Amino acid sequence: MDSLMETSGTAGLCSDAGLNAPPRPREIRPLLERLLGEAEERLQAPLRPLSENHQGYLETVAIDPAGNIWISGWIKKGQPLEFAAVLVDRQKFPAAVVLTSYDRPDLPDDAHALFGVILTSWRPASTNADIFVFFGEDMRFYLRSVKPLRVVDPKAAMELFEGVRIFCDGTHTSALQRMLTSAENWLPDTARVAGFPVQASVDDVLVVPGFGCFAQGWIISPVKRIHRLALKLGSVLLHAPPEAIRQVSRDDLRPAFPHWEHLAPQAGFVAMLRGDLPADEVVDPLLKVVFTDGSSVNFTIETKALRRIGHSAPIDSILDLYPSLPFEPAFADFAAALSREAVATLRGCNPVRVAPASRAAVFVLPSDRSDLYLLFEEVLNASRQHDDPPGFVFIGRRDRNFAEAAALFHDLEAAGVRGCSLFLADDPDYAFYELPGVLNAVAAERFLFAAAGVFLTPDGWSAALRALQRPGGLLHILADCQNGVAVGRPDSAAQCFVWSASAFAAWLRQAPIFVGGFHGDNLLLRSGARLVVHGNARRSIGQDDTADRLVARVNAQIAAAHGGAGHA
Amino acid sequence: MLDEASDSMPPIIRDRIAILSHAHPSVSKGGAEIAAYTLYSGLRELGIDALFIAACQEADRPRLHLGSEREHAVFYDPRAYDHFYHLSAPEVARQVARILAEERVSVANFHHFLFFGVNSLREVARGGSVRTILTLHEFLAICHHHGQMVTNPARLLCERSSPRACANCFTAKTWRQFDMRRILLQQVFAAVHGFISPSRFLVERFSDWGLSEDRMEVIENGLRHTPADPRRQAARQAGAPWVFGFFGQINPFKGVDTLLRAAEELARLQRAGPPLQIRIHGNVIGVNPEFAERFRTLAETLPGLSYAGPYDNNSVSRLMAACDYVLVPSTWWENSPLVIQEAYAARRPVICSNIGGMAEKVKPGISGLHFRVGDPLDLARTLGLAADEALYAKLTSGLPRVSNARRMARQYLAAFRRFATSLPDPASLASSGRTAAVSRRKRDDGAESPASVTVDYEDQ
């Protein structure tokens, strides 16, 4: 780390500085607080807005995310640029005012423009109100608001300051500038008023509600050393401890910054930022780069950089950014957050057609159109070959194949197959967890469940239909068949089984939700039910097992947290 | 394989026979539908109560012309068909079963499962009262690439299928899906009473795939129309240019590219003796613009190469008679190209690629010559060899007799009779954990029908 601190202008990060910023000299916060104290003592002073005591106007007011009130306007020359004040807006408010001034061509010679900050509990309630700011030894001087008072976006106030900063007199200019760039201030794009060179960009933010986010980007800071990073989404602040930040070489920046090309090897960063992030706060992203001298600069992140894990970005994509995640202490929290996200996706299955069936064969419709045709043909064939077939329940997804699935469902009914039901799920991958609702809707007492891409062999159909006829709590696992060889191992048991609906519902109430819907047997084999395994009973088709590496680890973590390793 | 003696076997006259084709010849002129209709015509000529049932798209209704009340159509929506597992909408299978039931058909000979769907075969077999026989015209059950057994997209010859190899050709499907496809088709085929193929080559390919050869019969496709006096068409004027005719769709799969390059080679060689002329007949269909342009340019500029334009099937005999040889330079296996039978009927030897059904149907040195598939230099060399009066005389005298509709029908009837006593493949049934019991069905008049069997399945 010493080498990083010594490197001139590097984007190196000082991990030894800890999370708390070092003291920053020449802050105006102590001055404001002192002046505010004086103002509170003078609240009872009589206040009369005599015309001869009118010293200027407030023209604009802006409130920044940190709650600071920035003002602009003009004031007669000779008046102090820092004072305790009483602000009157239908009632009195103590206030502390710190200003800087500059010449403005529209003003008379005896006046100059002002820009500054007011520390007060007052907030503008109406733009047409008469607002007075009394100041001076006996509070006889005052500034008055224009009507209507312009309440502007803090970005506009900052742009105004950026435009006049070099023309301001030096009394409080630098201090105000530092206040704009302080760690507490989340005004966007403050690099323009920072007074020192710094540029940054965030290329990708992978958001995990309930956990935080993973961000990657670059920072070029030729003058100041970087202390830490923070990211704001909505009203939530996310922080990256130093050990969760990685430096990455960005040779692609050399052409863009030829004067600072030696910073390229350390310019890139990947960071894991933690915070309790609700899903509805994933808005208005801002990056804060905090420097070792306490100053900071904020950068707006383009919203197109935002991706939500498990929604617009596959979970596995985190490993491309942050490959060490499965081995870090935060991994347990990450897994728990994903499991909670999975729970949030469970919104029940919408019934399209419901037919009562005390014995139900539930099939999740495959996403492949050809497999869809095959499933309905196999169901029709099975219904023809067996006396007293069960009711057939299909769970589909809202995709382009659903219309075709509905047509095939109708054809199945037209072929005389009774007791058919059709449901729509937002995410059929989690159909296993939606089963109680579906089974309740069709009033099933016993059921067969077959996940998407699972097809029963002739032996499997026979075993399943016999198991459906058999009452009791025996759990029948219909195991895979490979190349005609019976496979008796209960791998992926949760993808095809027969059980009692009430026993399953009772077990599911305490079972964990696995990301993606399945993790081996989903701990079904630890349900405590007596098992029967039928080999050579099913074939699983669909994409080859290129299971998301991270999902597998997450689910293993979830299983471990639940006290079971499961069969993965 | 049935021999000439089978021609004199009496036909079964108690069974009502349905010939099912994936298209009607009034709508489509492909080899399979023409062969199926020829068989139907032959059965009718023999006095057999035969039906012809064709699958037809709704959109083709205006073009469909059913020749008599014995011809039926099963209408389908091409959008409601899966071309991977070959499954139709259940309504199509019900249409097929309904027609067979209403017409009291006892033997259903499918000449394709395309558009009917293998589920139609299953539906018919499920009824138990109809013997199903499937005539295989290509390798669609084995190969998803149009049933040609060439790789996709390189179009290399595929020697043997496997789920993993097939998944390499079609990366949008998994090897497990291809395995499922094989299992499904083999399960459906297990309930079929027998299979007929026009070539031994196809029988061997399906045997490799898992179909028992005991359940397969080789019967050549017959021609519906044959020249009245084939001997008259064999005459050739000595010293006249040697004319090699190509008949068919003009595209690279039919070997036309090889032909064009052979023509270029021949033009480059300045050969002594009567000139060699390659005459191409057919439509330029389904080719990229570059190929079409090359074809047109060469046909117009290359000496010894000419394009005779499209032709009507009724004219093929006359057009072939105007050639000395018929060329079949296909770059895929082929099964039993109709053009070879047509060439023999016109008493013309065939020069073909040395693979697949072509090589089986053309005996080198007897009924024609082979050249190395896709090799234009070897084709050019072979054309040079063929331009020999003595060899030509030998080859024209060695041409086999061509089957006609009646002969084809007799051979099929003998096969139907043989398959009447066969059961669905017991090996397939055993692997599915089911057993089969056979019982004889009584007809409506109470008499036992010896040629009919029903199969009852019992779970183990």
Interface ipTM: 0.83
The helix-helix angle for A501-508 and A431-442 (nearest 10°) equals: 140
Size of interface A-B (CB pairs under 8 A): 73
Is the Cβ of A384 closer than 8 Å to some Cβ of chain B? yes
CB B103 within 8 A of CB B19: no
Longest CA–CA span in chain A (Å) reads: 104
Contact between chains at A462 and B433 (C-beta distance less than 8 A): yes
**What is the model's pLDDT at position A491?**
65
- Rounded to whole angstroms, the Cα distance separating A479 from A476 reads 9
Compute the nearest-CA separation of B206 from chain A (Å). 19
Compute the nearest-CA separation of A461 from chain B (Å). 11
**What is the model's pLDDT at position B446?**
42
- Rounded to whole angstroms, the Cα distance separating B252 from B260 reads 10
Contact between chains at A542 and B177 (C-beta distance less than 8 A): yes
Q: Which of A428, A396, A399, A427 is nearest to A409 (CA)?
A: A396
Contact between chains at B122 and A458 (C-beta distance less than 8 A): no
Task: Please report residues of B whose CB lies closer than 8 A to that of A414.
Answer: 90-91
Beta bridge mates, A208 = A212
Is the Cβ of A369 closer than 8 Å to some Cβ of chain B? yes
Residue of chain A minimizing CA distance to B82? A370
* Strand, coil or helix: A364: strand
Strands A475-482 and A485-486: antiparallel
Extract the tokens encoding B128.
């138990």
- Rounded to whole angstroms, the Cα distance separating B103 from B70 reads 10
Q: Which of A292, A290, A177 is nearest to A232 (CA)?
A: A290
CB A96 within 8 A of CB A35: yes
Is the Cβ of A541 closer than 8 Å to some Cβ of chain B? yes
CB A540 within 8 A of CB A510: no
**What is the model's pLDDT at position A120?**
94
CB A56 within 8 A of CB A143: yes
Q: Which of A532, A334, A504 is nearest to A435 (CA)?
A: A504
Contact between chains at A541 and B84 (C-beta distance less than 8 A): no
- Rounded to whole angstroms, the Cα distance separating B428 from B421 reads 18
| Residue B438 neighbours by CB distance under 10 Å | 10
CB B353 within 8 A of CB B331: yes
Residue of chain A minimizing CA distance to B429? A458
Mutation for B interface: A367, A368, A377, most B CBs within 10 A: A377
Is the Cβ of B7 closer than 8 Å to some Cβ of chain A? no
Compute the nearest-CA separation of A455 from chain B (Å). 9
**What is the model's pLDDT at position B127?**
84
Q: Which helix (H) or strand (E) holds A84?
A: strand A82-88
- Report chain B (460 residues): mean pLDDT per 10 consecutive residues: 44 79 91 94 94 95 93 95 96 95 95 96 90 95 94 92 95 94 96 95 95 95 75 67 94 89 90 87 88 93 92 89 96 92 95 96 97 96 95 95 94 93 49 33 38 27
Contact between chains at A539 and B82 (C-beta distance less than 8 A): no
pTM of the model: 0.80
| Residue B85 neighbours by CB distance under 10 Å | 20
Is the Cβ of B265 closer than 8 Å to some Cβ of chain A? no
Residue of chain A minimizing CA distance to B87? A373
Is the Cβ of A540 closer than 8 Å to some Cβ of chain B? yes
Task: Please report residues of A whose CB lies closer than 8 A to that of B175.
Answer: 544
Per-residue pLDDT of chain A (568 residues; tens, 9 = 90+): 222 222 333 344 433 333 455 444 457 889 999 999 999 999 998 899 999 999 999 999 999 877 889 999 999 999 999 999 999 999 999 999 999 999 999 999 999 999 999 999 999 988 888 999 999 988 999 999 999 999 998 888 888 998 998 899 867 898 898 888 787 788 888 888 888 899 999 999 999 999 999 999 999 999 999 989 999 999 899 999 888 999 999 999 999 998 888 888 899 999 999 999 998 999 999 999 999 888 899 999 999 999 999 889 989 899 999 999 999 999 999 999 999 998 888 888 999 999 999 999 999 999 999 999 999 999 999 999 888 899 999 999 988 889 999 999 999 999 999 999 999 998 899 999 999 999 999 999 999 999 999 999 999 999 999 999 999 889 999 998 765 555 555 568 899 999 999 999 999 999 999 998 998 899 998 889 999 999 889 998 865 455 578 998 999 999 998 885 543 3
**What is the model's pLDDT at position A483?**
57
| Residue A469 neighbours by CB distance under 10 Å | 12
- Rounded to whole angstroms, the Cα distance separating A43 from A55 reads 20
Contact between chains at A541 and B180 (C-beta distance less than 8 A): yes
Contact between chains at B89 and A484 (C-beta distance less than 8 A): no
Contact between chains at B89 and A411 (C-beta distance less than 8 A): yes
| Cross-chain CB nearest to B126 (options A369, A384, A539) | A384
- Angstrom distances, CA of residue A92 to CA of A54, A77, A95, A416, B380: 18, 26, 9, 83, 108
Output the CA torsion A16→A19→A20→A24 (10° steps).
Answer: 70
Contact between chains at B119 and A414 (C-beta distance less than 8 A): no
**What is the model's pLDDT at position A240?**
92
Compute the nearest-CA separation of B98 from chain A (Å). 12
| Cross-chain CB nearest to A415 (options B85, B94, B180) | B94
- Angstrom distances, CA of residue A228 to CA of A21, A494, B220, B295: 9, 46, 83, 70
Q: How far is CA A463 from the centre of its chain?
A: 47
Task: Please report residues of A whose CB lies closer than 8 A to that of B85.
Answer: 370, 373-374, 377
For residue A366, is the peptide bond before it cis, meaning its omega torsion is within 30 degrees of 0?
A: no
